[in-house]
Structure 1
Amino acid sequence: MKKIFLCISVVLVFASCTSKEEVDLVIYNANIYTVDADFSMASAVAVKNGKFVAVEDEAAIREKFEAKREIDAGGKTIVPGLIDAHCHFYGLGLNQQVVDLVGTESFEEILDKVVAFHKERPSNFVLGRGWDQNDWEVKEFPTKQKLDELFPDTPVALERVDGHAYLVNQKALDMAGITNDTSVEGGEIVKKDGKITGVLVDRPMGMVDAVIPKPSKETQIQALKDAEEICLDYGLTTVNDAGLGRATIELIDSLQQAGDMSIRLYAMVSNSNDNLDHFLNKGVIKTDKLHVRSVKVYGDGALGSRGAALKAPYSDHDGHFGAMVTPVNEIEALAERIAQSDYQMNTHAIGDSANIVVLRAYKKALEGKEDRRWKVEHAQVISEADFDYFEHGIIPSIQPTHATSDMYWAEDRLGHERVKGAYAYKKLLNKAGIVALGTDFPVERVSPFLTFYASVARQDLEKYPEGGFQMEDALSREETLKGMTIWAAYSNFEEDEKGSIEVGKFADFVILSDDIMTVPVDNIPNLQAEQVFVSGNQVK
Structure 2
Amino acid sequence: MKNKFNSLLAIFCLSAIFYSCQSEQVDLLIHNATIYTVDGSFSIAEAMAIKDGEIVAVGANNAIKNKYAGKNTIDAELNPVFPGFIDAHCHFLGLGNTFFTVDLVGTKSWEEVLSKTLEFADKNKEGWITGRGWDHNDWPTKSFPNKKSLDSLFPNRPVLLSRVDGHAAIANQKALELAKVDVNTFFEGGIIEMVDGNLSGILIDNAVDSVRKAIPEQTQNMMKKALLAAEGACFSKGLTTLDDAYLENAVAHLINEMHTSNELKIKVYGMLSPSEENKTDFLKNGPYLKDKLSIRSFKYFADGALGSRGARLNKPYHDDPQYKGLFLNDSLYFMEEAKALNSGGYQMNTHCIGDAANRMMLKIYAEVLKGTNDKRWRIEHAQVVDPVDLSLFKKNNIIPSVQPTHATSDMYWAENRLGAKRIQHAYAYKTLLKLNGLISLGTDFPVEDHDPLKTFYAACIRKDANEYPDNGFQMENALSREEALKGMTIWAAISNFEETEKGSLEVEKKADFVILDQDIMTIDPSKILSTKVLSTYLDGEEVYRKN
Alignment TM class, shorter chain as reference? over 0.9
State how far apart, in whole Å, the 1-side matches of 2:19 and 2:287 are: 45
State how far apart, in whole Å, the 1-side matches of 2:232 and 2:125 are: 26
Identity %: 49
Who is 2:497 aligned against?
Answer: 493
SS in 1 for 2:491: helix
Who is 1:512 aligned against?
Answer: 516
Q: Which one of 372, 375, 383 corresponds to residue 372 of structure 1?
A: 375
Residue 123 to residue 516, structure 1, CA distance change in 2 (3 Å) = same
Where in structure 2 are the equivalents of 1:108-257 lying within 5 Å?
108-257=111-260
Where in structure 2 are the equivalents of 1:316-331 lying within 5 Å?
316-331=319-334
State how far apart, in whole Å, the 1-side matches of 2:124 and 2:338 are: 44
1:435 partnered with 2:435: no
Who is 2:468 aligned against?
Answer: 464
State how far apart, in whole Å, the 1-side matches of 2:19 and 2:226 are: 53
Q: Which amino acid aligns with 2:214?
A: V
TM-score, structure 2 as length reference: 0.95
Q: Which one of 57, 71, 76 corresponds to residue 54 of structure 1?
A: 57
1:288 partnered with 2:291: yes
1:94 partnered with 2:102: no
State how far apart, in whole Å, the 1-side matches of 2:490 and 2:379 are: 18
State how far apart, in whole Å, the 2-side matches of 1:39 and 1:123 are: 54
SS in 1 for 2:344: coil
1:272 partnered with 2:275: yes
Who is 2:5 aligned against?
Answer: none
Return the offset for 1:211: 1.0
Q: Deviations over 1:497-532 (max 9, x none)?
A: 000000000000001011110010111111111111
Return the offset for 1:116: 1.1
Who is 2:366 aligned against?
Answer: 363
Aligned length: 528
State how far apart, in whole Å, the 1-side matches of 2:64 and 2:45 are: 11
Q: Which amino acid aligns with 1:174?
A: E
Q: Deviations over 1:43-76 (max 9, x none)?
A: 0000000000000111111221111010100000
Return the offset for 1:16: 10
1:303 partnered with 2:309: no
1:446 partnered with 2:450: yes
1:480 partnered with 2:484: yes
Q: Which one of 65, 78, 90 corresponds to residue 68 of structure 2?
A: 65
Structural RMSD (CA): 1.4
SS in 2 for 1:177: coil
Return the offset for 1:369: 6.9
Return the offset for 1:403: 0.2
State how far apart, in whole Å, the 1-side matches of 2:94 and 2:390 are: 31
SS in 2 for 1:158: strand
Return the offset for 1:368: 6.1
Return the offset for 1:315: 0.4
Return the offset for 1:279: 1.1
Kept in 1: contact 2:50–2:540 (CA 8 A): yes
Kept in 1: contact 2:20–2:69 (CA 8 A): no
Kept in 1: contact 2:272–2:297 (CA 8 A): yes
Kept in 2: contact 1:434–1:487 (CA 8 A): yes
Return the offset for 1:187: 1.6
Return the offset for 1:215: 1.2
TM-score, structure 1 as length reference: 0.96
Q: Which amino acid aligns with 2:76?
A: A
Q: Which amino acid aligns with 2:149?
A: K
State how far apart, in whole Å, the 2-side matches of 1:17 and 1:525 are: 42
Return the offset for 1:119: 0.9
Who is 1:332 aligned against?
Answer: 335
Structure 2: tracts of 5 or more residues without a match: 1-13
Return the offset for 1:17: 12
Q: Deviations over 1:117-167 (max 9, x none)?
A: 111111221111111101111011001000000011111101111010110
State how far apart, in whole Å, the 1-side matches of 2:89 and 2:274 are: 16
Who is 2:86 aligned against?
Answer: 83
Kept in 2: contact 1:271–1:297 (CA 8 A): yes
Who is 1:529 aligned against?
Answer: 533
Kept in 2: contact 1:396–1:432 (CA 8 A): no
Return the offset for 1:448: 0.7
Structure 1: tracts of 5 or more residues without a match: 1-10
Q: Deviations over 1:399-433 (max 9, x none)?
A: 00000000000000000101111000000001121
SS in 2 for 1:467: coil
Kept in 1: contact 2:34–2:44 (CA 8 A): yes
Residue 129 to residue 16, structure 1, CA distance change in 2 (3 Å) = closer
State how far apart, in whole Å, the 1-side matches of 2:187 and 2:420 are: 32
Q: Which amino acid aligns with 1:386?
A: D
Kept in 1: contact 2:440–2:491 (CA 8 A): yes
1:396 partnered with 2:397: no
Q: Deviations over 1:279-338 (max 9, x none)?
A: 111211111111000000011000000000000000001211100112221111111111
State how far apart, in whole Å, the 1-side matches of 2:362 and 2:433 are: 16
1:411 partnered with 2:422: no
State how far apart, in whole Å, the 1-side matches of 2:210 and 2:359 are: 29
Kept in 2: contact 1:186–1:327 (CA 8 A): no
1:381 partnered with 2:378: no
State how far apart, in whole Å, the 2-side matches of 1:348 and 1:207 are: 19
Q: Which amino acid aligns with 1:483?
A: G
